[in-house]
Each structure stands twice: as C-alpha cells, then as structure tokens.
Amino acid sequence: MSSPMWSGMRGIAVVPSYVIMQPTTLCNLDCAYCYLPLRADDRRMPVAVAEAVAGSVNTWAAQSPRFSVVWHGGEPTSVGRGRLERLMAPFDGVEHHIQTNATLIDDAWCEYFAEHEVRVGVSVDGPARLAERRVLRSGALAYDRILGGIAALRRHGIPFAALCVVSDPRPGLAAELYEFFLDLGCYALGINVEEREGVNARGTGFPGGAMRTFWAELTAAWRADPRIELREIEWALRYAGAALAGTDDQLLPRQLDPIPAIGQDGRVVLLSPELAGFDDPRYGDFSSGNVLDRPLHEIVAHAAQTSQGWIGEYLAGVEACRASCRYFGFCGGAHASNRYFEHGRFDGTETDHCRNSKICLLEGVLEYARGH
Amino acid sequence: MPEATEPIVERVRAAGPGLVAMLAEAERTWRSRADGGDRTAGWRPFEDAFPTFYQFTNRPR
C-alpha cells in the first residue's frame, strides 16, 4: 500500500461531542471479561467534580445542537438516585445517557429516568446460556436480575438500547442472538466482541473465518427483520453505500473526538476511557489533568494541541494505520486502548479488535451480499 | 479516489447486485424510521443510542 490519502481523523478536536462521567468505580457485578481495575471498590465522585466538568460542558452544549453526558461505571445506578441527581444537577442543556447492567432498575429508577429524560443503554449478553460470564459478586448469574430491570423499563415505556458482549463468535450464533434482542424490545443494539484490555487478559484472536461468518449471519438476520438499529451492520452498509457512491472518504470525522472521560476523582483521560485507572512506568496514569485543578476545556485544548506523551505516540499510530491499512476509511485507526493493551504501546497498528470488529465485520457483510 | 482506498472499493463493487439490493432495502428502513417521528429512531440512530461510539469510529456520525 502506498501514499494513503484518507482525509479524516487528522489530529484531535478541541471540543468533544460528549463526555463520560464515572460516578463510582464500583460495579455490583463481576463479569469475567470486564476491563475495570477498581470495580470492587466504591470510590464515589464528589459533586465538586461534576460542578467543575459542567463549567466547561455547559458552554460546549450551548454551542452545539446536541451534547451528551454519559454516566458510565462502575455501575452508575449503584450510587443511588439521590447522589446521581446531585451529580447531574450542575449540567444544563445536555442529553444525559446512562450505561447500566439494569440489575438495580426498579419502578423508582424508571420514574427517575423519565423525569430527567435519561437515555438508557443496557448491557446484556443474550439468552441465559450465552450470559454465563456476566455474574454477581457471589458468582451467580446476573441474568434474571438484568431481565427484571428490563421488565421495569418496558412497564414504564422507557426505550432502551442494548450493548452485547460476544465472547465466543462462531457460526450459528448470530440468528439466535438477534432473535433474543428482537424479543427483548430494545430499539438499538451494539455488538462488542470481547476485547483483551484492562484486567481482562483472555486472548481474543478469534479465527477469521468464524468471525466473518458471525457477521455475515448477523447481516442476514437483520435483513430479515430490521426492526432493531443494529450498529455494526448498519454502519458497514453506510460505508459500503458511500464507497459505491464515491463519498466514502467523507464518512470519518475530520478530527478525532477527544472523548474526555472523567474519573471519580476528577482525572481526565482522553480518547480511550478504558485507560482510566491504570498506570504505566512509561506513560504514567494516562491522564491529561484533573478538573479540580484546571478547567476541562483547558485540559482538552492543551492535550489536543500539544499531543504530549502517549497521545503523541497514539497519533503516530493513527498515521501508521492510515499509511498501511486499506480499511482505514471504514475504521479510522485502531483504538488507543486496544493498541496499548495488546501491543504495550500506542504506535502499533492492527489489533485483534481491528480484525474482529472492523475487518471481519466489513468482509462478513460483503460476503453475505455476494451470496444474495 | 485515494489510491489506498481502491482495493476496498473494488471489493465493495465486487459484492455486486446483492449489495445494491440490500442497500436499497436499508435506505427504505432508514427512511421509515425517520418518518415514524420516534425520538429513538431516524437517521441519527447511533447518536441516540450510543454516544460511546468511540468503539467504532471514535465519534457519532
């Protein structure tokens, strides 16, 4: 491959389109594939951190048609409604999202979501026999409690998206999985093929043939009943349509979104929230600053403009992807956390995640199309 | 067309009429969602459902 010309993903934007907030490190589950290092500890975000973040976010939100604040964990509902309400209170003009395992959701939580117009994403891995790695701290399956929470959402008419971790992608799985989510009643679905990152060291070098077949079969299932917005398949179709129209180079953002993730203690990690909570002799704690010391917009702008430390190495990695990978226009470059946790540094290129969730995805969709 | 994109474009074109038909169906699906007026549907599904779209292309489109 020579002289790459893809024009998107050059440098880091100084204004994000959303921020990720960690109200607590604690998760009441202990899923086998989880990357979070401190999920057994309940370290909670002080309201002062939320107030500091809101000081920048409210300005960004006022200048944008939409701006999202994503409450992510740990398990955000584990802090309780009162605490979450106090953390949300400083924000103005934003969309609040919550990513939850749903095990604690009851009627009162549903009333809270409705009152505060919180958009809900539920993490659920499919039918019980496919959800054996999503467990309570006792080791018992979390499945029944997850479905209990989802039943509450449905009783209250609260729309929800679903994120599904697939730990064993293989032929014959996709149709069963998609059927489950059709019955579950979610309006959108994202498939996260398990990743080797954080404290999850399990290998994810799944066979390419099985991976492609999984995506091809998921394409078939979606085509037969496209009621659910299916993130991966629909994105691949958008890309394929743009490629046919000759507009595929315009699909990627012009710049990388900085995606500030604010840890419970106020530390800001850009680009890959999965890096929060880790330390490395070469890269330190991966943070670009703390909102209790400096305004978030200054932290983001300084990091984007100076690209010091691991961020500069990561940008070199993005350019290496641009120069070497023909899937760059579809993908935008391997993610920072996948590079780090798979390669030990940020300027490598293709990862297991690239192969599983980008390359095999696009090839699987095309494989299905060729046969139909 | 950028040189580095050509192999993928060729692969997409090679998917032929099967892909064209599927894209036409997808376009109808996307239009019908948008026409439904549901706040959870439409041509911005990923922004609505997954602001954490960094897992894919780093940012919602």
Over residues B1-60, the pLDDT tens digits come to 344 455 788 889 999 899 999 999 999 988 887 766 554 444 444 555 565 544 555 554
Residue B49 is predicted with a pLDDT of 58
Residue B58 is predicted with a pLDDT of 53
Question: Which residues contact residue A153 at a Cβ distance below 8 angstroms, ignoring those fewer than 6 apart?
Answer: A102, A105, A110, A113, A120, A122, A160
> With a cut of 50, which residues of chain A have pLDDT below it?
1-4
Q: Does A1 touch chain B (CB under 8 A)?
A: yes
Contact B51 A371 (CB under 8 A): no
Over residues A306-359, the pLDDT tens digits come to 999 999 999 999 999 999 999 999 999 999 999 999 999 999 999 999 999 999
Greatest distance between any 2 Cα atoms in chain A:
58
What six digits make up the tokens of A157?
């008419």
Residue of chain B nearest A7, judged by CA positions: B2
Which amino acid is residue A238, in one-letter code? R
Q: Does A161 touch chain B (CB under 8 A)?
A: yes
Residue B57 is predicted with a pLDDT of 53
Closest CA to A20 of A198, A192, A267: A267
Q: What is the ipTM of this complex?
A: 0.89
Q: Does A14 touch chain B (CB under 8 A)?
A: no
Q: Which chain A positions have a beta carbon within 8 Å of B56's beta carbon?
A: 231-232, 235
Contact B2 A6 (CB under 8 A): yes
Rounded to 5°, angle at Cα A259 from A293 and A69: 85
Residue A130 is predicted with a pLDDT of 87
Q: Does A326 touch chain B (CB under 8 A)?
A: yes
Over residues A233-282, the pLDDT tens digits come to 998 999 999 999 999 998 888 999 999 999 999 999 999 999 998 999 99
pTM of the shown model: 0.93
Residue of chain B nearest A232, judged by CA positions: B56
Q: How far is A284 from chain B (nearest CA, A)?
A: 23
Q: Which chain A positions have a beta carbon within 8 Å of B50's beta carbon?
A: 121, 161, 163, 188, 190, 231
Q: Does A339 touch chain B (CB under 8 A)?
A: no
Q: How far is B9 from chain A (nearest CA, A)?
A: 6
Query: Is residue A21 a contact partner of residue A91, using CB atoms and an 8 Å limit?
Result: no
Mapped to the 3 state alphabet, what secondary structure does A19-60 carry?
A: EEECCECCCCECCCCCCCCCCCCCCECCHHHHHHHHHHHHHH
